[in-house]
Chains A and B, each alone.
Chain A
Amino acid sequence: MGVERLTQTNKGKFYTETAKKTKRRVLLGKTLRVIGSIYRFLMLACVSVIVLYPIMTMLTIAIRPADQMTDPTIVWIPKSFTFENIQTAFTYMKFSTAAVNSLIITLGCSILEMISCSMAAYGFARYKFKGRGILFMMVIFTILVPPFTIAIPNYVLFFQFDYFGIGSLIGLFTGEPLSTNLVGSYLAMLLPAMFGVGIRGGLFIYILRQSFRNMPRELEEAAYIDGCNTARTFIQIILPNSRTMLITVFLFAIVWYWNDHTYSSLLLGNLPTLSTRLTVLQNEVLNFMQEASGALSGNPYFLSAALQAGCLLMILPLLLMYIFLQRFLTESIERSGLVG
Chain B
Amino acid sequence: MAKNRAKKRPSWEKRRIRNGYIFILPWLFGFIFFFFRPLMSAVQYSLNEINFKQPIEFDFVGLEFFQKAFVDDIYFLPTLSNSLTSLLYEAPLIIAFSLTVAYVLSHRFFGATAFKSIFFLPVIVASGIAFTLMQSDSYASQLGSSVTTAAMFGAKGIGDLLSQAGLDVSVVSFIQSVVDRIFNLTWKSGIQILVFLSAFKSIPQSYYEASQLEGATGWESFCKITFPMISPMLITNIVYTIIDTFTDFANPMIVYINGVLSSQSGRMDISYGSALSIIYFMVIFAIIIVVYAIINRRVSYYNE
Contact (Cβ within 8 A) A145 B20: no
A 152-189 binary contact with B (CB < 8 Å = 1; else 0) = 11101100000011000000000000000000000000
Contact (Cβ within 8 A) A127 B261: no
Which residues on A sit within 8 Å (CB–CB) of B257? 148
Contact of A153 among B31, B45, B124, B127 (CB under 8 A): B45
A 298-333 binary contact with B (CB < 8 Å = 1; else 0) = 001101110110110011001100100011011001
B 221-233 binary contact with A (CB < 8 Å = 1; else 0) = 0000000000011
Contact (Cβ within 8 A) A153 B113: no
Contact (Cβ within 8 A) A47 B101: yes
Which of these binds chain B: A7-15, A18-26, A70-78, A283-291? A70-78
Contact (Cβ within 8 A) A258 B277: no
With contacts A123-B24, A195-B27, A196-B30 taken as known, whether A76 is within 8 angstroms of B140 at the C-beta atoms is no
- CB-CB contacts below 8 Å: A110-140 with B: 116-117, 119-120, 122-124, 126-130, 132, 135, 138-139
Contact (Cβ within 8 A) A75 B128: no
Contact (Cβ within 8 A) A301 B121: no
CB A70 to nearest CB in B, in angstroms, measures 6
Which residues on B sit within 8 Å (CB–CB) of A157? 34, 37-38, 41
Q: Which applies to chain A's interface (DSSP): helix, strand, loop or mixed?
A: helix
Contact (Cβ within 8 A) A230 B38: no
- CB-CB contacts below 8 Å: B111-154 with A: 111, 113, 115-125, 127-131, 133-135, 137, 139-141, 143-147, 149, 152-153
Which residues on B sit within 8 Å (CB–CB) of A54? 131, 134-135
The closest CB in chain B to the CB of A151 belongs to B261
Contact (Cβ within 8 A) A195 B26: yes
Total A-B residue pairs with C-beta atoms closer than 8 Å?
Answer: 277
- Answer yes or no: A40 CB below 8 A from chain B CBs: yes
- CB-CB contacts below 8 Å: A12-52 with B: 37, 40-41, 43-44, 47-48, 50-52
Contact (Cβ within 8 A) B30 A192: yes
Contact (Cβ within 8 A) A275 B104: no
- Answer yes or no: B67 CB below 8 A from chain A CBs: no
Which residues on B sit within 8 Å (CB–CB) of A215? none
Which residues on B sit within 8 Å (CB–CB) of A192? 30, 34
CB B108 to nearest CB in A, in angstroms, measures 11
- Interface size class, chain B: 35 or more
Contact of B33 among A142, A164, A308 (CB under 8 A): A164
A122→B273 CA distance, assembly (Å) = 37
Which residues on A sit within 8 Å (CB–CB) of B153? 50
Contact (Cβ within 8 A) B146 A75: yes
Contact of A129 among B21, B35, B121, B130 (CB under 8 A): B21
Contact (Cβ within 8 A) B42 A153: yes
Contact (Cβ within 8 A) A152 B141: no
A 52-64 binary contact with B (CB < 8 Å = 1; else 0) = 1111011011001
- Answer yes or no: B278 CB below 8 A from chain A CBs: yes
- Answer yes or no: A103 CB below 8 A from chain B CBs: no
- Answer yes or no: B197 CB below 8 A from chain A CBs: yes
Contact of A148 among B31, B35, B143, B261 (CB under 8 A): B261
- CB-CB contacts below 8 Å: A224-275 with B: 230, 234, 255-256, 258-261, 275
Contact (Cβ within 8 A) A72 B144: yes
A259→B120 CA distance, assembly (Å) = 16
Which residues on B sit within 8 Å (CB–CB) of A74? 144-145
Contact (Cβ within 8 A) B128 A64: no
> Which of A53, A148, A260, A307 gathers the greatest number of chain B CB atoms within 10 Å?
A148
Contact (Cβ within 8 A) B145 A142: no
Contact of B140 among A57, A68, A123 (CB under 8 A): A57
Contact (Cβ within 8 A) B127 A255: yes
A330→B201 CA distance, assembly (Å) = 12
A203→B273 CA distance, assembly (Å) = 26
Contact of A144 among B16, B23, B147, B284 (CB under 8 A): B284
Contact (Cβ within 8 A) B23 A120: yes
Contact (Cβ within 8 A) B247 A146: yes
Contact of B143 among A70, A117, A139, A333 (CB under 8 A): A70
CB A330 to nearest CB in B, in angstroms, measures 5
Given A259-B130, A307-B137: 11 more A-B contacts, CB < 8 Å? A57-B140, A75-B147, A123-B24, A130-B17, A145-B35, A146-B280, A275-B130, A304-B137, A333-B194, A337-B202, A339-B198
Which 7 A-B pairs give the minimum distances between C-beta atoms? A195-B30, A127-B20, A123-B23, A259-B128, A153-B38, A120-B27, A153-B41
Cross-chain pairs A/B with CB under 8 angstroms, 30 sampled: A48-B119, A51-B122, A54-B131, A57-B141, A61-B144, A76-B145, A119-B27, A120-B24, A122-B23, A127-B19, A146-B281, A147-B247, A148-B258, A148-B277, A152-B45, A153-B37, A192-B30, A195-B30, A196-B30, A259-B129, A259-B130, A261-B129, A303-B139, A305-B143, A307-B133, A311-B131, A315-B130, A319-B125, A339-B198, A339-B202
Q: A: which residues have CB within 8 A of B?
A: 37, 40-41, 43-44, 47-48, 50-55, 57-58, 60-61, 64, 68-72, 74-76, 78, 116-117, 119-120, 122-124, 126-130, 132, 135, 138-139, 142-154, 156-157, 164-165, 191-192, 194-197, 201, 205, 230, 234, 255-256, 258-261, 275, 278-279, 300-301, 303-305, 307-308, 310-311, 314-315, 318-319, 322, 326-327, 329-330, 333-335, 337-339
Q: B: which residues have CB within 8 A of A?
A: 16-17, 19-24, 26-31, 33-35, 37-39, 41-42, 45, 101, 104-105, 109-111, 113, 115-125, 127-131, 133-135, 137, 139-141, 143-147, 149, 152-153, 182-183, 186-187, 194-195, 197-199, 201-202, 232-233, 243, 246-247, 254, 257-258, 261, 270, 273-274, 277-278, 280-281, 284-285, 288
